Structure 1
Amino acid sequence: MGRKAGSLSINPKKFANLQKPCMKEMITFLSCLSLSQGNDQKCSRQKSNLSACMDAQTSNKRKPLGSINYHLQRLNRGRK
């Protein structure tokens, strides 16, 4: 599992924090649940906002591009 000297690599976990599209809605829903002692009947508006945001995210049918490290390895091969 060692790495070769001079190879390019990026930790993808650092870039995973960049896109969290429904975080605001989820935080408002969870805070409403904690204030109402788990009664989700009182938090119906926050729940509908969260579900609408999540539905909008699943409708984005985009082809995955592959990992960044894969593309860096391709660039490194072409450089040699």
Structure 2
Amino acid sequence: MGRKAGSIYINPKKFGAFHKPCMKEMVTFLSCLALHSNCDEKCARQKDLLSTCMDSQSKKNKSMGSINYHLQRLSRGRK
């Protein structure tokens, strides 16, 4: 059930930590909520910034697949 010996494999969890696009906006919104006792009206600006960031991220092109899928394709063609 595991991987074949000698095959190429990259752990995608290591690469997930590099790119977190809306982390700054989310942290500012959550700290504003904590500061104002979960009052959305006082944190409307931070909420708008977070929603615009998330909307812009969803409109970007999706990736063609995982890196491991492409590595397997390349190794099949090499044999």
TM-score surpassing 0.5? yes
**How much does 1:19 deviate?**
2.0
Distance 1:3-1:21 versus aligned 2 partners, 3 A rule: same
1:42 matched to 2:42: yes
CA distance in structure 2 between the aligned counterparts of 1:5 and 1:79, rounded to whole angstroms:
16
Match of 1:57 in 2: 57
Give the number of aligned pairs: 79
Q: RMSD of the alignment, in Å?
A: 1.4
Match of 2:18 in 1: 18
Query: Which stretches in structure 2 are left out of the alignment for 5+ residues?
Result: none
TM-score by length of 1: 0.85
Give the counterpart letter for 1:50 in structure 2. Answer: L
Give the counterpart letter for 1:75 in structure 2. Answer: L
Match of 2:72 in 1: 73
Query: Matched residues, percent identical?
Result: 68
